[in-house]
Structure 1
Amino acid sequence: MKKNTKMRIAVTAVLAVFLMMAAGSGSTDKDTTKAIADDTGNGTTETASEKKEEEAPEEAGLPTIEEQVLLDQDGIKITALGLEEDSIWGTGLKILIENNTDKDLGIGCDALIVNNYMISDLFSSKVAAGKSANETINLSASSLEAAGIANIGQIEIYFRSYDSSSFETISTYDKVTVQTSEFANMDTQAADEGKELVNQDGIRIVGKFVDEDSFWGAGILLYLENNSGKNISVSCSDVSINGFMINPIFSASVYDGKMAVKEVTILSSDLEENNITSVEEVELKFSVLDSDSFQSLFKTDTISFTTK
């Protein structure tokens, strides 16, 4: 059983790495990116490329942070050392992990939040008993770009420790916050241009655009905002493209008071099997759960929209 669990974790991690790399390589050219039509006819919806050209934020360069202890508990000490830039992974937070216990441990993140946006993170580090490790928590360049973040002002992290052999969680820790030299100037605007699909119980979902040339096939980019008072998980079901049922990949975790920009991934195999060459009409339902209690908060009726 443990062997199967380890295998599933390894496969999931490898797939997630490819998803992150693919997210950064997807096209947002005008000829492959289609806006979601606004039924009100006010003409305010813009393609991602048009929005990017008109409102591209000014980059302030790599910000700095003060060296600081983020966690010192249960024999584990984590210190933030600084920020660095990588040509492939983008900006990263350099940390020192000290394992002062008598057990081999793994350290991971349950959530990584930049400027109030949930950011994809695959950080994991194994540290032997009594040893230390210099590591980097990479802030997904594609996630930052999708959220319109050019100036990183605040990083929030929820660390957890786990058994490095069984992968079972040992402890979860309260949020730690790192403020950078750009805190006063950080990007805080909502990247909510597009068509509002859901506005219920403090939760908003906006359809931003459809990219017909994403890495895996096509993608529907969504903006999610959570002011419900609860941490939530959002998924979709009963999805059809141009009248054909498909099985997309989509799951989003959004903590209370936070935002996220996530993609509903439509696999090229689904498009090919149904002879879909252009995404014109979309129907789907959203399900929202309390991610702490797993209680259902609500499920929408069928939501329909078209592209233009």
Structure 2
Amino acid sequence: MNAAFIFPGQGSQSLGMGKDFYENSKGAKELLGNASDFCKIDFKNLLFTQNEDLNKSEFTQPAILLNSLMAYTALLEKKPDLKAKFALGHSLGEFSALAISGAFDFLESILLVNKRGLFMQEDCAKVEAGMMVILGLDDGKVEELCKKARDKNKQIFAANYNCDGQIVAAGLRADLTSFESEFKLAGAKRAMLLNMSVASHCPLLENASAKLCVELEKVLKTNFNPVISNANAKAYTSKEEALLLLKAQLISPVLYKQSIKAYEEEVDFFVEFGASVLKGLNKKITAKETYSLTNLNDIDEFLKVL
């Protein structure tokens, strides 16, 4: 059977995530310890103890990636021969997908997204950025309204194509707030600001994208197993392609829905590592089953299906 491995992005974090893997998987526990030493971040405290850092991008991103890799490590301990036909992720999750596909060393990938989150925070702190989820409008209508906003000198961009009827817009927080009524007048069931201080996947992150490219050049491997790009919904396998696509990724919309639709016929099921956010989206995109692995019991139940 052919599987696709999928990885969640920022917003999937929760206090206590990964604790079952840490306590019951030798490999996951070693990975967390090594990541703490390598990144100079106390991940045990960050993940398992009440704190304010877990929702700051520079810490959120490595925490989510580490949790995904712990889930992946715990699965391979029980089923070392399980391979994916390809991997993909939602936003930050693309870096998790790259890590398990051999594009980065695991520890290098965690440090890389720590820097990615910091670069994003630095860009967005200057401009009061934000993101807004819009429910119940088709893609074309949201794109039309975003263009209408920009024609009025507002910074609003379609950023995440999650599933039919759900798009996240990014831009200046004040502009998003001022345009909320426009989305609702057009028929949106909901237009709600998210609890985020960054504006991912839009031109506000051009400086962060350039700085990230410098770091990518240092750590990307020459070739790796297929990963589906958020930027163009196509598979890539080389450093040369990755440098172009990951530079575009921070300033271009996440084509998650389009990626699933483009490749669903190539696999029998999807496996999500560390959360169940993408499982929820996939139910609205594809008839193929998605298994989410958030603890060891999830892994055991999943392995019974194989």
In the superposition, the TM-score normalised over structure 2's length comes to: 0.29
Structure number having the greater strand percentage: 1
Structure number with larger C-alpha Rg: 1
In the superposition, the TM-score normalised over structure 1's length comes to: 0.29
Structure with more relative contact order (C-alpha pairs < 8 Å, separation 6 or more): 2
Structure number having the greater helix percentage: 2
